[in-house]
Structure 1
Amino acid sequence: MSASAPISPLVKGPLHLAGTTTHARRGAIQNAFRYGVDYVLIDPQSTRGPLLFSRNRWNLASVMDRNHGGAPKKGRGLDWAKEVFEHAGLAPQNLRILLLTQPSFLGYIFNPVSFWLAYDGATLRGVIAEVSNTFGDRHSYLCAEPEFAPITAKSCLSAQKIFHVSPFQEVAGDYRFTFDITETRIAIRIAHKNGSEGVIATLMGELHDLNNARLIKASLRRPFGAMRTVALIYWQALKLKLKGARYRRRPLPPEQEVS
């Protein structure tokens, strides 16, 4: 477990994660990649931030409620997350909920996965992994220990895969989520296993105060933001196709928003 302190409930300003994501496909056809990504960790109830970052309005970088908490572009933001946690048995009045997500850059947004983090004081009690695919669908997985015991870096939280993410993977098998989140660093690991096949995905990086200089550097280092993410997804899909991976048609998304 990390020696750093957990996220402080007193942290109010947005934080920047200049991190890396890795994907490694296991099985008969293997593929792996590693890319740089920019995430922000925000308090959805706060409007604080640098000049070039906005909540619910256009800017160089922004986070819009309509893009989170429900169907894409029809989200309800924090209210939705509170309802999900409350329905699961976590009283929202005792929680502080943070959102870890890729911001839009110049209005364009695509998030393969964002995370709603529910804290009781400095203790992480629950996580909603909000997963979106390139077909315009979304499904969320609620991750928690039994009886909402503290989630630590050693916790391994499971969920059945019921949502179509990649046309080169079956909607079958299980996920294993691990979250090592402190006030200085984030390390998230998602392992999908379906028999001898599977994918391991990670998101890792250091947390820093979000400021204008970091936003400008991010836009220069990784121009076009989320548009770049989509292009990289299609590039990896082409590589898998050329390696002989089987293409599967998109099934209907699950009826329930959260599992």
Structure 2
Amino acid sequence: MTGGLVSHLAAGGVFHLTSDVAHARRGAARHAFRYRVDYLLLAPEAVRPRGLFRLGRFGLFSFRPADHGGRRGTGTGASWAWEVLAQAGLSRDETMTMTLMAQPRFLGFWFNPVSFWMVLRGDDLLAVIAEVNNTFGQRHSYLCHRPRFAPIRARDRLRTDKAFHVSPFQDIAGSYEFRFSVSAADIVVGIRHIDRDEGLVATMRAKPRPLRQSGLLAAALRRPGGALRILSLIYWQALRLRLKGVVYRPLPPEPPEEISR
């Protein structure tokens, strides 16, 4: 149930998610890895700073609304997400809470391979915007929802065509299949890239825990570097793929639309 999540977030609270992230590449060159990654779950329109966690300013961990929502580098945060959903037909009301699951800045450094805007209404998840950034300075987002914004269930598979260059070792082909399960006990995200010749399965699983200073310090010591660590791991996996002989694809132009609906 998400009710406990919503009340905590609406009151300005933040959840710390130590996520187990796993990737498995399918096809001729199989490749897999698993890491632990620190995410925060917050409501951008209500969140408040606390101790080592800062808002809009330098800190050990920090959050800047302009890092998210819309074109990379010029984001407008939650207002962008609400506008996208309104254009898709969701009528906002006071029962809905806009939340964001993203990696925070670490000592001012920012990079998020994927963040998730999630609209919650009580115990229901109504919509998700998967905000994807590549290592070439580009961004594209995928809007996920059921017809007429019916609540998204754990068994639902939400499909959209792949439109964005993420890995230089895969073509822009095939489709993505998303699944989401959000509760106070567990948050699970599954992404499956479906392609005729190759594909990818990625999963994220975490237990949301209220943000504590001890948790932030432990994260900084156990996984130093934050987003910089994640970026270095991406390049390390790219090197491993190149050594396996996987062909490097040149960077194509960005999609003409900033979001796939």
- What TM-score do the two structures reach when normalised by structure 1? 0.96
Secondary structure of residue in 2 paired with 1:11? helix
Moved more, 217-226 or 41-50: 41-50
Secondary structure of residue in 1 paired with 2:204? strand
Matched, 1:43 2:46: no
Equivalent residue, structure 2, for 1:105: 106
Q: For residue 72 of structure 1, report the CA deviation from its aligned partner.
A: 1.9
Equivalent residue, structure 1, for 2:2: 6
Contact 2:190 2:201 in 1 (8 A): yes
Secondary structure of residue in 2 paired with 1:92? coil
Tell me the alpha carbon deviations over residues 31-84 of structure 1, each in whole angstroms, 9 at most, x when there is no partner: 000011000000111232421112222211111111000122210001101101
Matched, 1:235 2:239: no
Matched, 1:183 2:184: yes
Equivalent residue, structure 2, for 1:198: 199
Contact 2:97 2:119 in 1 (8 A): yes
- What TM-score do the two structures reach when normalised by structure 2? 0.95
Equivalent residue, structure 1, for 2:226: 225
- Deviating above 6 A after TM superposition, structure 1's stretches of 4 or more consecutive aligned residues are none
Gaps of 5+ in 1: none
Matched, 1:119 2:120: yes
Gaps of 5+ in 2: none
Moved more, 110-119 or 180-189: 180-189
Contact 1:49 1:211 in 2 (8 A): no
**Structure 2 CA distance for aligned equivalents of residues 167 and 205 of structure 1:** 28
Contact 2:2 2:122 in 1 (8 A): no
Matched, 1:88 2:85: no
**Structure 2 CA distance for aligned equivalents of residues 91 and 58 of structure 1:** 36
Q: Per the alignment, do residues 17 and 7 of structure 1 end up closer, same or farther by CA in structure 2, a change over 3 Å counting?
A: farther
Q: How big is the alpha-carbon RMSD for the aligned residues of Structure 1 and Structure 2?
A: 1.1
Q: For residue 129 of structure 1, report the CA deviation from its aligned partner.
A: 0.1
Contact 1:128 1:140 in 2 (8 A): yes
How much identity, in percent, do the aligned residues show?
47
Q: For residue 7 of structure 1, report the CA deviation from its aligned partner.
A: 4.6
Where does 1:60-71 land on structure 2 (aligned, <5 Å)?
A: 60-71=60-71
**Structure 2 CA distance for aligned equivalents of residues 249 and 175 of structure 1:** 21
Equivalent residue, structure 2, for 1:31: 31
